Each structure stands twice: as structure tokens, then as C-alpha cells.
Amino acid sequence: MRAVVKSMLFWGSAALVLGMSLAFPPAGPAQDSDYYSDYEDGKELFFAHEYDKAKRKFDDVLRARDNHRGANQYLGRIYLIEKDYGKAIRHLEDCLKETTGDYRKIPLNYLAEAYEGAGRRRKALATWEEYLRYVEPGSDWERKAKDRVKALGGKP
């Protein structure tokens, strides 16, 4: 009986440790906490309109975490604001590679705008059409996208 109890305690403890390690992965190198701090700092700088400083923070995040969805999205938005459409497109496309479901809505909106700014009408049209799949029917976002589709020669 004692052997059974010990076995149950061992396997129960092992399961608990495994579950905890999956829920709370180890911190890893100091770089992990740095990239999170850089990301949060970058967002604060973005919303304070300090784009050059924010770019540096988001670039640091991408050095630590290749293809970080959030860093790519914010960099894409900054480059879109700065009308550097090539860089905006690159970062927003990278963001979308890591994004599924409804989380695609926001980067698709910015990517469609970047394609338009770059004069890539067909890509802009296709992106607005994809964006329409994620917006709420009857919303201002839907109206904007339908207007852009129509302006680009598509059927809203």
C-alpha cells in the first residue's frame, strides 16, 4: 500500500511540476525580460509620438525575438506614418505571418493603407477585401473598407 501511495505522490508531483512549467515557463536568459521591457517601452514611446525612440526599442525586440508580431505591427505603423511604405509593408507582412483569426484585422488595415501609399493597387484591393472578412457588418470600419475597395475598382 505504501508503494502505491509513494507512486501516486511521485506521479502527482511530476504532473504538477510539468503543468506549472508549461503554464509558467522558465525566465530564460536576461534577454527575455529585456525584450518584454523594450516592447512595453516602445509602445509607450509610440503613443507619445516619439517614433525614432520607439523604432529603436522595437528593433531591439526583433533582435531578441525574431518575428515578434507586436513589434512588427508597431514598426509597420510608424513607417506608414512616416510614409516609408516599403518598410511599412515589410513589417506588416511579417506581422501577419505570425497572426491568425481576428487578430489579423488591425495589421490588415494598415497593410492595405501601405500598399495604397506605395501605389500597389491590386495588393491594396486584395488586402481590403480580406480585411472586410474581419470587420463588423455596418461598422465604420466596414464602410471605410468598402469605400477603399470601390475606389480601387473592386466590388464592395
Instruction: Pull the grid cell for residue 131.
Output: 480585411
pTM of the predicted model over 0.75? yes
Residue-level pLDDT at 155: 79
What is the DSSP annotation of 25-60?
A: ----SHHHHHHHHHHHHHHHHHHTT-HHHHHHHHHH
Residue-level pLDDT at 132: 96
Residue-level pLDDT at 124: 98
Residue-level pLDDT at 26: 38
CATH class of the domain at 28-151 = mainly alpha
Q: What are the mean pLDDT values of the chain's consecutive 10-residue runs (156 residues total)?
A: 45 40 39 80 98 98 94 98 98 96 96 98 97 96 96 85
Domain boundary assignment for the chain: 28-151
What sign for the dihedral angle of Cα 105, 150, 89, 49?
negative
Residue-level pLDDT at 28: 40
